[in-house]
C-alpha cells in the first residue's frame, strides 16, 4: 500500500517508453492513490502521449517524491473503478489545494491507472 505521505504529494512523474522514438518520456501529473494503484485523469483522453505510449508498452516507471516504482499502466474500463478514479482526484485537488473549476476535467478526462511495485 502506498504510504499516506506519498499519496498526499501533489504530483507524480510517469515515464513511458516513446512509441515511435523508443526513448523515455516523462510527464508530471496529478494523481490519486488507492492501495498499490495510482490513478490519473488524462485531459487529452486517448490523444495524450503518455496514454498512447502506455498502450504500446504497459511497463512504466512512476516517481512520487523520492520513491521510484515500476508499474503496469492501463486505461480504466470498469465503471466502478472509473468512478473511484474521478472521486479520488476531485476530492484531492478540491479547494483549497486547487482553486479552479475541475468539474469538466473531472467529468470528461480519461481515467488511467498504474498498478505499482515498489523499487525503493
pLDDT in tens, 94-113: 888 988 889 889 889 999 99
pLDDT of residue 21: 94
What band does 120 get if pLDDT is binned at 50, 70 and 90? very low
In this structure, what C-alpha cell is assigned to residue 109? 478526462
Helix H or strand E segment including 49:
helix 49-56
14 near 60, Cβ under 8 Å? yes
pLDDT of residue 118: 60
Sign of CA dihedral 44, 106, 35, 5: positive
Amino acid at each position: 500500500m502506498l504510504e499516506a505521505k506519498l499519496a498526499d504529494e501533489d504530483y507524480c512523474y510517469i515515464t513511458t517508453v516513446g512509441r515511435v522514438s523508443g526513448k523515455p518520456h516523462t510527464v508530471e501529473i496529478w494523481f490519486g492513490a488507492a492501495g498499490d494503484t495510482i490513478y490519473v485523469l488524462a485531459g487529452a483522453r486517448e490523444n495524450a502521449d503518455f496514454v498512447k505510449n502506455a498502450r504500446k508498452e504497459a511497463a512504466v516507471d512512476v516517481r512520487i517524491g523520492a520513491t521510484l516504482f515500476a508499474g503496469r499502466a492501463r486505461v480504466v474500463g470498469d465503471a466502478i473503478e472509473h468512478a473511484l478514479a474521478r472521486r479520488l482526484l476531485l476530492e484531492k485537488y478540491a479547494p483549497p489545494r486547487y482553486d479552479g473549476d475541475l468539474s469538466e476535467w473531472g467529468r470528461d478526462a480519461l481515467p488511467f491507472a498504474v498498478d505499482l511495485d515498489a523499487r525503493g
